Structure formats: structure tokens, C-alpha cells
């Protein structure tokens, strides 16, 4: 049986993260893995995309930052409502606080030392602004270059321990039975 999974992520940083960190494991389970950015899509286009995925009986999930939502449940409800109920709540993964927190979560003591940053015990509340303030001078303020260097030394086992929402994502991917 042909198996496909579509992962919709907010933007480029999210796509690069998923392409590097989760795609290899997903490719062991699926013949086709699609990681797509939805930031430029209208709600109607996203909803249509999800209807098509469901019609194909493909697996899927949408990843969204928690942003200003007070909790994960409220964020999931907002995402479902915006997409006119086309998305199942079990298919929405909420990043606390933003994808940058997941990047930092995968760094152990050695990687932090090599990159020249302080190792954080927990990254659940790291925002984009805090992440940017941590970029070492040698990257000339380039978040993209810094993120790419992080991905070279990223450790999933470390990230699971340092970030609750990343751990949740990985648990969901490992406990697959046709559902994310």
C-alpha cells in the first residue's frame, strides 16, 4: 500500500527544520514525504489542500507556533476554526513557543560550546527574539546561517528532553498507526 504524509509548516525555518530532523525518519515509514510552507497560502487554499490530502487518504499534520494563544488547546481550536473544521485536532502540532525553541533544544553541552552559546536546560519558552539575541557575533546576525549550523549538530534525544512540544511531536511520529 502506497503511503504518503504531508507536513504543513509555517515558513522556511520550519521547513528546513523538518526536512533535516524529521524527514529521514518519515521516509522510513512513507513512500512520499511532502514538507510544505503554508505562510503564503490563503485559508481557502489551505483548506482545499487538506481536503485533497484527506481524499487521498494520506497522513498529514499542520505545525503552528503557539504565538499569543494562552494554551495549546486554544491554539488548536483557533487553527481548526480558521480552516473551517477541515483539520482534525489530532493533526495539529503546536510549537511552544516558536520553532527557534526546537532548534536550541537539540543542542547538548558540547554543541553549545562549539557554537559559543549558553546551554539552556529548557527551551519551551524561547521566542524568536530571544533566539536572535543568542546568535554569536561570528554569524553576523544571520539567523539562517546560525540555524543551519545548529542542524548540523542537532540531537533528537537531547531535544526531546529539553522541549516538551518537540517531545510530543516525536512521540506522535513514533506511535504511528495511520494517524499523526
- Domain boundaries defined on the chain: 4-98+162-174, 100-159
- Residues in the chain, how many? 180
What average pLDDT does this structure show over 30-55? 92
Residue 178 pLDDT greater than 90, yes or no: no
Residue 179 pLDDT greater than 50, yes or no: no
Residue 69 pLDDT greater than 90, yes or no: yes
Share of the chain above pLDDT 70, in %: 97
Which listed CATH number (3.30.505, 2.60.120, 3.40.50, 3.30.50) goes with 4-98+162-174?
3.40.50
Instruction: Give 119's contacts (C-beta < 8 A, 6+ positions apart).
Output: 107, 108, 109, 112, 113
DSSP 137: G
Residue 176 pLDDT greater than 80, yes or no: no
Q: E-assigned strands of the chain?
A: 4-9, 32-37, 59-65, 92-95
- Residue 174, classed as helix, strand or coil, is helix
Output the pTM of the full model: 0.91
Cell triple for residue 145?
A: 546561517
Residue 177's pLDDT is what?
A: 41
Amino acid at each position: 500500500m502506497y503511503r504518503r504524509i504531508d507536513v504543513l509548516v509555517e515558513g522556511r525555518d520550519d521547513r528546513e527544520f523538518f526536512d533535516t530532523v524529521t524527514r529521514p525518519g518519515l521516509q522510513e515509514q512513507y513512500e512520499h514525504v511532502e514538507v510544505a510552507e503554508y505562510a503564503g497560502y490563503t485559508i481557502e487554499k489551505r483548506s482545499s489542500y487538506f481536503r485533497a490530502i484527506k481524499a487521498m487518504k494520506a497522513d498529514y499534520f499542520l505545525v503552528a507556533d503557539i504565538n499569543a494563544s494562552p494554551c495549546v488547546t486554544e491554539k488548536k481550536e483557533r487553527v481548526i476554526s480558521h480552516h473551517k473544521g477541515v483539520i482534525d485536532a489530532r493533526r495539529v502540532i503546536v510549537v511552544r513557543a516558536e520553532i527557534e525553541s526546537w532548534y536550541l533544544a537539540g543542542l547538548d553541552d558540547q554543541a553549545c560550546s562549539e557554537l559559543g552559546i549558553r546551554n539552556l536546560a529548557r527551551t519551551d519558552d524561547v521566542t524568536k527574539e530571544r533566539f536572535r539575541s543568542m546568535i554569536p557575533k561570528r554569524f553576523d546576525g544571520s539567523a539562517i546561517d546560525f540555524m543551519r549550523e545548529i542542524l548540523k549538530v542537532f540531537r533528537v534525544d537531547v531535544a526531546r528532553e529539553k522541549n516538551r512540544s518537540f517531545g510530543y511531536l516525536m512521540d506522535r511520529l513514533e506511535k504511528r498507526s495511520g494517524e499523526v
